[in-house]
């Protein structure tokens, strides 16, 4: 099995994790509770999945806070829980279904306690600040999380949607083991600099939406889609190529693609076996 260690932590997991957001976020399109639990259990038992990313805000609205975490807790009840690392996040809220940020220490304290109950654990494996709150210094937000870590309620800290400047400030407050930003072959933006920061600090990079969604970013605006071209050469899917590109880009990478279909998840995880040539890596962009 291809593995990655999450930063300087003692957490070694499969090189490809699973982002569980789509099991909860859209009440019109999400699977039933039974379907979601079955998907997670099959992924653990049949595919060797052992890293799941969630958040308290992966839900339809504020009345459902913790929906995704509770699904995961039900799916992993019993011996499966000892085989899986679960990362969750706090710092986002869903008033009337909107996405808003709340990095106040008192909110993060209550959110962390609520996540412990939702996940049914005494300690969160990896707790990430979902996004910096423009109204709260990142030092205050990280400080609250670090206090919970000192109390034994959090094993490891992480951050998400951070800039280099915010990473530097947060690092001085409380060292963390992961950064979760949006990064893919078709949505690279300025993330190569963040990736280099992670490599220099021995921090894992967890790219969310690692297949980049639909459409082509300017860096890949060729007459033919490079992802499609490379996929045909390997008898693979564009999703597999996008994930393989990230894995080969850096040993710090730990992609967390999301899906509601078991077959799609199984296909995604096969990307760890795909090896791209230097030329193909260049076609997709090295940064």
Rounded-to-integer distance, Cα 48 and Cα 46, Å: 6
pLDDT per residue rounded down to tens, the chain (287 residues): 799 999 999 999 999 999 999 999 999 999 999 999 999 999 999 999 999 999 999 999 999 999 999 999 999 999 999 999 999 999 999 999 999 999 999 999 999 999 999 999 999 999 999 999 999 999 999 999 999 999 999 999 999 999 999 999 999 999 999 999 999 988 877 799 999 999 999 999 999 999 875 444 433 334 348 899 999 999 999 999 999 999 999 999 999 999 999 999 999 999 999 999 999 999 998 54
H/E stretch holding 13: strand 12-14
The third-level CATH classification (topology) of the domain covering 3-284 is: TIM Barrel (3.20.20)
Rounded-to-integer distance, Cα 283 and Cα 287, Å: 11
Q: How many CB atoms lie within 10 A of CB 81?
A: 16
pTM of the model: 0.94
Query: Angle between the 238-249 and 262-269 helix axes, to the nearest 10 degrees?
Result: 40
| Cα angle, residue 30 at apex, residues 28 and 35 outer, rounded to 5° | 135
Cβ atoms of 157 and 142 within 8 Å: the answer is: yes
Greatest CA separation for the chain: 55
1, two tokens: 């099995």
Instruction: Write down the pLDDT at residue 153.
Output: 98
Residues 6 or more apart whose Cβ sits within 8 Å of residue 165: none
């Amino acid at each position: 099995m291809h593995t990655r260690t999450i930063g300087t932590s003692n957490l070694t997991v499969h090189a490809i994790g699973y982002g569980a957001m789509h099991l909860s976020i859209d009440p019109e399109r999400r699977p039933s509770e039974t379907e979601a639990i079955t998907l997670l259990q099959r992924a653990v038992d049949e595919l060797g999945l052992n890293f799941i990313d969630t958040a308290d805000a992966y839900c339809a609205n504020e009345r459902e806070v913790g929906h995704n975490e509770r699904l995961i807790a039900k799916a992993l009840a019993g011996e499966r829980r000892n085989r899986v690392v679960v990362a969750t996040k706090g710092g986002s809220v869903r008033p009337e279904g909107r996405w808003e940020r709340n990095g106040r220490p008192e909110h993060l304290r209550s959110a962390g306690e609520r996540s412990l109950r939702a996940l049914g654990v005494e300690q969160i494996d990896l707790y990430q600040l979902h996004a910096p709150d423009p109204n709260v210094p990142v030092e205050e937000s990280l400080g609250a999380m670090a206090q919970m870590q000192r109390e034994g309620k959090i094993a490891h800290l992480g951050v998400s949607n951070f800039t280099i400047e915010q990473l530097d400030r947060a690092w001085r407050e409380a060292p963390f083991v992961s950064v979760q930003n949006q990064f893919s072959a078709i949505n690279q933006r300025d993330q190569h600099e963040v990736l280099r920061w992670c490599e220099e600090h021995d921090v894992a990079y967890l790219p969310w939406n690692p297949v980049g969604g639909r459409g082509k970013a300017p860096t890949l605006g060729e007459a033919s889609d490079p992802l499609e071209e490379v996929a045909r050469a390997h008898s693979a899917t564009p999703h597999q190529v996008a994930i393989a590109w990230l894995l080969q880009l850096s040993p710090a990478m730990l992609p967390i693609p999301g899906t509601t279909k078991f077959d799609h998840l199984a296909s995604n995880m096969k990307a760890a076996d795909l090896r791209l040539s230097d030329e193909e890596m260049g076609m997709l962009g090295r940064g």
